[in-house]
A and B are shown apart, each in its own frame.
Chain A
Amino acid sequence: MLRLFQKIFTTGVVTENVKVYDEELEAIGVEIKRYIDQNFAGSLAIRQVDAGSCNGCELEIHALSNPFYDVERFGIHFVASPRHADVLLVTGVVSRAMQTALLRTYDATPNPKWVIAMGDCASCGGEFGVSYASCGAVNNVIPVDMTITGCPPTPLVLLKSLLALMQKK
């Protein structure tokens, strides 16, 4: 037990400050921000849905919970059910086998809700595109409010995009 505490105290706090600059906010869109302010009052419950990703995006979403980014300190938390969620964070192209599951998840999420398409596949189809097995980008299946590009987007980009949603005007 002593070793454990020793490791904790010698490691210290590694969590980093993250600032979001005005230009970045602008890039994400002022309209979106106003909507979030009105509806979610600064706290965001996210349900992540992998609709057909290669699992690269999931690794970076996991990284958001590591001590460097510690996403929960901003009031952003990942929930186990769409019924608890404000936001659906969708990764991957939507595979056809996942189409109904995604639609049902979307329906199960209470209004007002927000859909973020994360990664190149979810945003525009990426390497996989539209085919017999894939519906392509997420907005081909459900309405998308925001896209975060990158293959996969780094946790910092991801965190900044989420924070931009939360900031008061």
Chain B
Amino acid sequence: MIRIAHFEEYEPKFLRALQRHLYTSFGLGCEQAGCVPWPLENREPNSPVDGLLLLNTAPKIDGLPSDRTLYLTQRKLQTRKLLTGELHTSGLSQYKGMRALLSLPPHEELERLQKQIFRLAIAELGHNFGLHHCLDPRCAMYPPWTLPQASTEASFCNFCRALSERYIRR
């Protein structure tokens, strides 16, 4: 089961669309867990937050031990400084873990960027299930920072779909 929790209020229409899309992509039940309290001390809406810290301190959602939770926030996530360079972060997930985090654009742009948001949500939850980045630019698991994603579909390639099914049923 996938559960969607959010730190701010969102339009029910958007949440339902995301729920439906995740259900069709993973073949798993998807439920809305509602709004959850902000866990960090940093409450300023415009300051970027540490994604990993937020991911690890987010409140636990009741459910089965195998449930994955996707947390949504409208706060920007801090740019990560990695060994090979800096990386703008719009989503994070615990690899083979239970939690994924997605930073969303402002409310006005949610509808316009819906496809890209869904794609990112699939990618982050895919990491949760054990998928790595994919070589196919049309796949949702393709690294999100490489090319404009407007032209690409928010779905898995055949290889990643088969792999995700295998990992989910395992």
Task: Indicate whether A and B interact.
Answer: no
